[in-house]
Amino acid sequence: MRDSKGFNLVTVIIIIFVVSIVSGITTGIIVTNTYLGINTNDGALNEFLRAYSDIINNYYEDVDKEEMLDKAMDAMLDYLGDSYTTYLNKEEREALEQRLNSTYKGIGVKFANKTIVEVIKDSPAEKAGLQTDDVFVKVDEQDVSDYTDTEISDIIKNSGKDSVRIVVLRDDCEKEFKIDVKTLYDNVVQSTMIEDTNIGYLQVPLFSRSVADQVDSALRELEKKDMKGLILDLRNDSGGYLDEAQKMASLFLKKGKLIYSLEDKNNKNDYYDETDDKKNYPIVVLINGNSASAAEILAGALKDSYGATIVGKKSYGKGKVQQTYTMSDGSMAKYTSAKWFRPNGECIDGIGIMPDYEVEIEYVYDEEGNQTGAVDTQFNKALELLNDSK
C-alpha cells in the first residue's frame, strides 16, 4: 500500500519543459508554473530540480538528459499503481497515434508470407502497377527472401525516402517498380449482407479516428439493401477514442437516451444522445475477452438503451478513461482521469460485460491434436437469434 502519490503529472511536465529551455532552469520553472497555475514554492519540485541539476553538473560521466527524464517520467507514473497510466516516448506515441488515427506509412498493400493479398484502391502501389499474388523479392536492393512480413513493412516505412524500389516475382519473372511512400488512411470497418438473408454484418476492430463516420456510411449501404437486422462484431476490439464510441452509439439510439456516465474526482456527468439519428431493427452484439474500453461502452449502451442482445464471452472489463499530454520533446503521458458507468449504473472495471448468451468458439483438431480450423458458433448464434426475431 502506498501512502502518497509522490510527484504529480504536472510536476513531471514542468521538468521535461525545463530541460528544453536553453536559457536556464529557473526561468523555465517560473514561466511554466505561471502558465499552469502551479505554486512556484513547491518544495518537492524544487528539491527534485536541485537533485537533477546536481547530477547533470557533477556526475563523473556524461548524462543523457533525455533518457534520464524518460526513465523518471516512467517511474513516476508507474508509482501511481494504475496499469492504464503510462509514459510513451516519441516513437511509442507516434505508433499509437498512427494506429488510433487509422493511418499508416507505406505503399498501400496488404501481404502475407511475402505475397501481396490486396492492393488498396488509389494507393501508390496500385498506381505503380503492383498486383495481388506478386511476391516480394527485394526492397531498395535488399534481398528480403528470408525476411518476415513485419521486417519488410519496417524497411518500407522507415526508409526515410519519398519512394522505394520494389522487386517482385510475377509469373516466374522479376519485375521492378518505383513506388511512392505516403501516409495512407485505412478503412477499418468491414461490412456485408449475409448471403440469402436480410441481415447485415458489421465488424469494428478499433475505435480509431473517423470510425463512426465509416460505420454510418456502411449502415447506409446495408440499409439500401433492405437490411432488417444487424450483427455488430466487436470481438477483439481493444477500444480507442471515447468520442467515437459516443458518436457511434448516437447512430442507433433515440434522442435523449443515456449512452454512459463519467465520474472524476469532483463530478459525475451523464452523456446522452443528442442527435436525431436512430435505428429500429434488432441488433446482436458480439463480444469476447478482448473487447475493451470504448467497445464495452458501445456494447453497454446498445444493451441498456437500445435493447440489443449480446452474444459471446465476457468482455475485458476496462471501466476507466484516460487523458493524454504531449511533451515538447514528442513524448506523451497517458493517465487515468475518470471511470465510466453503463446506462444501467454499473461500472464494469475489472468485471466486464456478461453476454446474454455465453457461447464458446468450437475449434477443429486433426488426429494428432493440431488445430485445423474453427466453427464461429458465436456468429451462428447471433444469426439464429435474428432469424428467430422476424
Task: Note the pLDDT tens digit of each residue in 190-239.
Answer: 999 999 999 999 999 999 888 999 999 999 999 999 999 999 999 999 99
362 closest CA partner among 352, 372, 354: 372
- 32: CB partners within 8 A, 6+ apart: 13, 14, 17, 18, 38
Query: What are the backbone dihedrals phi and psi of residue 280, each rounded to the nearest 5 degrees, phi first?
Result: -125, -5
Is there a contact between 242 and 212 (Cβ–Cβ < 8 Å)? no
Q: CA-CA distances (angstroms) from residue 220 to 217, 251, 352?
A: 5, 11, 31
pLDDT at 71: 84
- pLDDT confidence of residue 60: 83
CA distance 17 to 14: 5
Residue 131: all three cell numbers together: 498486383
Listed residue (257, 98, 247, 248) closest to 184, CA to CA: 98
pLDDT of residue 292: 95
Residues of the chain with pLDDT under 50: 1-38
Residue with cell 547533470: 56
Cell numbers standing for residue 287: 463480444
Supply the mean pLDDT for the chain: 86
Output the pLDDT for position 83: 79
User: For the chain, give me the number of helices (H) and strands (E)?
Assistant: 11, 21
Report helix, strand or coil for 337. Answer: strand
Distance (Å, whole) CA 285 – CA 382: 8
Helix, strand or coil, per DSSP, at residue 195: coil
- CA–CA separation, 178 and 156 (whole Å): 12
- Give percent helix, percent strand, percent coil of the chain, each to the nearest 5: 35, 25, 40
54-69: buried (b, 16+ CB within 10 Å) or exposed (e) per residue?
eeeeeeeeeeeeeeeb
pTM, two decimals, is 0.69
At position 359, the amino acid (one-letter code) is V
Domains and CATH numbers, the chain: 9-81 (no CATH), 103-185 (2.30.42.10), 190-388 (3.90.226.10)
The pLDDT of residue 39 is 54
**How far apart, in whole angstroms, are the C-alpha atoms of residue 262 and residue 273?**
15
> Cα 81 vs. chain centroid, distance in angstroms?
22
End-to-end CA distance of the chain: 55
